């Protein structure tokens, strides 16, 4: 008697692997839908910063030149400006010209979705279990929501995750792809022209170099010491070449000096919200603290000796996330990828009811690694791109309508200025300046926007003096030559202008009021440094970014 044994058809098996979405695919698709079609799409436009990025990109396309002087400010117009994100601006200018704000939101959502999908994928490849990674990833996503904005930092997120994966794989000697570290200088060439976060690339290189040196000093195994020495030499070459290619930017070494001066300016770091310590009462910070606790639990549960690189990365991620709000997303992603394998180690040898869970998780892990085709994410991207090209409609149905929130930005006030045909420079909040540039440039310029590194500490001090109506605030207005002001409907400056002689309200709505100088108009005097100084004591934080 012969027994018939069925064997899987290899063609059918390949087709199934192509059509069956992996968990990585599902994470990408769900996040892409949320950021492009769902409630998070409006969240991406909560910052007016993207407004001047779009206009700068359009200027680059029109002039076929990278800017070296400001074109948006009435106070700093024509002064040297480091447009250190010029390559991102170029992309945003092109996307906006062809796809509008829908395209800008789609691109930002695409980058964020891809970033977290890769965090999940790399965590699996590092040895984490699917069930554990999902818990850590969800915690990381909520923690990172503090900075879900259509801004160039999302590009740095994506590059950082890939950069870490290459360094980690090379350090652990995992697989035959150690050659990938030699591609890092080419990545740095792009990164240095996309966002100031390229500095993080050198920090991570330094972390792995330090881990190699510590291994060389502390390890007793001669073979491991030799491998650590060889790897450190390779990383040293990569570090040096990356440093050289980072100078290939429109501003050369001056860009590095500018970034250093900006990040080491204590006043600016203390008064720009996103550089300040995160609010412990905020949901993102609470989830970041939860992620720190989970990492600690993983370390204790694994009962395994961590490598030097893991310890240094945990210390760096924890410290940077606790130091400044804008560091939380990257810190959370790094902690997720580092902590995931720890729980996998802890579950080895489990028995009883946990053995079945372990077996199920193992099957899911193997399936996730096996599924390498990504048909569904590609289809989702193609459909969304088609929707953007058709003004947010898909098969005749409106599905996208990206716009700035009229309850957060002075939409009605700017509409009124446009109808009036205004050409007078406008003073407004730094957090609204980018939106006004987006709406009114080139016909109207602003006195301030959120490029704090460009305006500098002296200007920011006087801006805060004016914003908070400290003694001498009206003299600041006179010095600037301000004739037109757009302020929130409920603000100290607005209340004072209601009573101030020489100013009259010309428009009022629920979000913003517009005031015009009624007599003694100034011709729009340029900012001169130093200004008249008034001791204003303690200053409040700049409102350029709200968590």
Q: Is the pLDDT of residue 3 over 50?
A: no
Distance of CA 10 to the CA centre of its chain: 43
Report d(CA 327, CA 318) in Å as an integer. 10
Report d(CA 545, CA 547) in Å as an integer. 7
Chain segment 393-438, per-residue pLDDT in tens:
988 889 999 999 999 999 999 999 999 988 999 999 999 999 999 9
Distance of CA 170 to the CA centre of its chain: 26
Least confident of 71-75, 124-128, 162-166: 124-128
Beta bridge partners of 144: none
Domain residues of the chain, as ranges?
10-38+82-376, 411-517
Chain segment 115-153, per-residue pLDDT in tens:
999 999 999 888 888 888 999 999 999 999 999 999 999
In terms of pLDDT, which residue wins out, 226 or 486?
Answer: 486
What pLDDT shows up at residue 535? Answer: 33
Taking the model in full, what pTM does it have? 0.88
Give residue 365's pLDDT band: very low, low, confident or very high (50, 70, 90): low
Structure-block tokens of residue 507:
């428009």
- Tell me 65's DSSP state: S
Structure-block tokens of residue 287:
């989830």
Give residue 362's pLDDT band: very low, low, confident or very high (50, 70, 90): low
Q: Is the pLDDT of residue 547 over 60?
A: no
In terms of pLDDT, which residue wins out, 544 or 320?
Answer: 320
Average pLDDT over the chain reads 86
Question: What percent of the chain is predicted at pLDDT more than 70?
Answer: 85
Beta bridge partners of 179: none
What pLDDT shows up at residue 17? Answer: 64
Report d(CA 87, CA 62) in Å as an integer. 14
Residue 503: closest CA among 469, 547, 531: 469
Give residue 370's pLDDT band: very low, low, confident or very high (50, 70, 90): low
How many beta carbons lie within 10 A of that of residue 529, not counting itself? 8
| Residue 248 burial by Cβ neighbours in a 10 Å radius (0-12, 13-18, 19+) | exposed
- The half-sphere exposure of 269 on its side-chain side, counting CA atoms within 13 A, is 12
Question: What percent of the chain is predicted at pLDDT more than 90?
Answer: 67
What pLDDT shows up at residue 518? Answer: 83
What pLDDT shows up at residue 358? Answer: 57
Give residue 374's pLDDT band: very low, low, confident or very high (50, 70, 90): confident
Beta strands in 318-382 (DSSP E): none
Segment 363-377 shows an average pLDDT of 69
The residues, any chain, with a CB within 8 Å of residue 477's CB and separated by 6 or more, are 427, 466, 485
In terms of pLDDT, which residue wins out, 273 or 332?
Answer: 332
Least confident of 238-242, 426-430, 500-504: 500-504
């Amino acid at each position: 008697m012969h027994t018939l044994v069925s064997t899987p058809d290899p063609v059918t098996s390949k087709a199934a692997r192509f059509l069956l979405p992996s968990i990585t695919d599902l994470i990408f698709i769900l996040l892409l839908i949320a950021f492009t079609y769902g409630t998070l799409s409006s969240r991406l436009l909560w910052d007016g910063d993207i407004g001047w990025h779009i206009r700068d990109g359009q200027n680059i396309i029109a002039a076929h030149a990278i800017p070296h002087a400001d074109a948006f400010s009435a106070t700093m117009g024509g002064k040297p400006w480091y447009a250190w994100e010029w390559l991102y601006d170029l992309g945003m200018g092109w996307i906006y010209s062809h796809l509008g704000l829908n395209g800008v939101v789609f691109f930002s959502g695409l980058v964020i979705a891809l970033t977290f999908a890769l965090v999940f994928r790399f965590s699996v490849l590092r040895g984490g279990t699917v069930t554990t990674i999902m818990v850590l990833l969800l915690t990381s996503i909520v923690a990172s929501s503090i900075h879900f904005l259509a801004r160039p930092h999302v590009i740095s997120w994506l590059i950082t995750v890939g950069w870490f994966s290459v360094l980690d794989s090379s350090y652990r000697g995992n697989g035959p792809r150690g050659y990938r570290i030699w591609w890092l200088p080419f990545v740095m060439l792009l990164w240095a022209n996309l966002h100031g976060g390229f500095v993080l690339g050198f920090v991570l290189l330094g972390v792995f170099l330090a881990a190699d040196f510590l291994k060389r000093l502390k390890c007793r195994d001669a073979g491991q010491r030799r491998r650590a020495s060889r790897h450190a030499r390779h990383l040293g070459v990569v570090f040096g070449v990356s440093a050289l290619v980072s100078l290939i930017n429109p501003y050369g070494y001056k860009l590095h000096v500018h970034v250093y001066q900006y990040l080491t300016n204590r006043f600016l770091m203390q008064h720009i919200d996103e550089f300040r310590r995160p609010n412990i009462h905020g949901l993102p910070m609470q989830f970041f603290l939860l992620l720190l606790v989970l990492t600690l639990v993983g370390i204790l549960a694994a009962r395994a000796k961590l490598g030097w690189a893991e310890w240094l990365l945990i210390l760096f991620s924890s410290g940077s996330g606790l130091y400044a709000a804008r560091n939380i997303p990257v810190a959370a992603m790094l902690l997720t990828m580092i902590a995931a394998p720890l729980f996998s180690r802890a579950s080895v040898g489990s028995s009883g009811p946990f053995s079945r869970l372990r077996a199920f998780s193992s099957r899911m892990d193997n399936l996730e690694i096996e599924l390498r085709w990504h048909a569904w994410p590609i289809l989702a991207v193609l459909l969304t791109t088609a929707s953007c090209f058709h003004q947010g409609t898909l098969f005749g149905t409106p599905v996208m309508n990206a716009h700035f929130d009229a309850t957060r930005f002075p939409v009605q006030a700017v509409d009124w200025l446009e109808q009036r045909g205004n050409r007078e420079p406008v003073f407004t909040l730094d957090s609204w300046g980018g939106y006004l540039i987006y709406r009114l440039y080139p016909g109207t310029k602003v006195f301030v926007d959120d490029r704090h590194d460009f305006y500098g500490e002296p200007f920011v001090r006087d801006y805060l003096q004016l914003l908070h109506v400290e003694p001498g605030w009206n003299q600041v207005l006179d010095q600037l030559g301000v004739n037109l002001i757009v302020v929130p409907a409920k603000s100290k400056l607005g209340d004072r202008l209601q009573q101030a002689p020489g100013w009259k309200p010309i428009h009022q709505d629920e979000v913003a009021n517009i005031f015009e100088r009624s007599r003694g108009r100034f011709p729009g005097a340029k900012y001169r440094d130093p200004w008249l100084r008034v001791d204003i004591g303690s200053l409040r934080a700049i409102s350029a970014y709200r968590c």
